[in-house]
Amino acid sequence: MGFDFNKLKSDIVSVGKDVGNKVSDASAVAKLKMDIHNKEDFMEKQFTELGRAYYLAHKDEEEIPEKEFFKPIAEAEAELARLQDELLTMQGAKVCPSCGAKQSKESSFCNSCGAKLD
C-alpha cells in the first residue's frame, strides 16, 4: 500500500477551511465586542452630558430630589477654580474677567478681547 497524497491534500484543504472559518468567526466576535464597547462608551458620554445639562439647569434650585448629588459637584468646582488660580499665580499669569483668556501678569489689557485688566 502506498501513501495516498490525494487524501493528504484533501485533509489539508479541509483543515485549512476549518481554521479559516474559526478565524473568521473569531474576527466577527471581536468586531461585535468592539461595536458593543463603542456603543457603551457613546451611551456613557451621553449620560454624562445629560447629567451636566441637568446640573447646570438646576444647580441654583433648592427643592429638587437630586440635590444631594449637587453638593459634591459644587465643592469640586470650587476646588478646581482654586487650583486653577493657584496654577495661574505660579505661572505668573491672570485671567481676563470678560472672556476668560489667560494673560501675562504684566498685561493691562486682554490680548483676546481688549478688556481692561485689573
Q: Are residues 108 and 77 in the same domain?
A: yes
From first to last of its 118 residues, the chain has per-residue pLDDT tens of 578 878 888 888 888 888 888 888 888 889 999 999 999 999 999 999 999 999 999 999 988 888 888 999 999 999 998 998 888 888 888 888 899 888 888 888 999 999 998 7
Identify the domain containing residue 17 by its residue range.
1-58
User: 84: which 3 cell numbers?
Assistant: 486653577
Q: Is the dihedral of CA 47, 49, 50, 55 positive or negative?
A: positive
Q: Are residues 13 and 50 in the same domain?
A: yes
Domain boundary among 22, 42, 58: 58
Cα–Cα distance for residue pair 71/78, rounded to 1 Å: 11
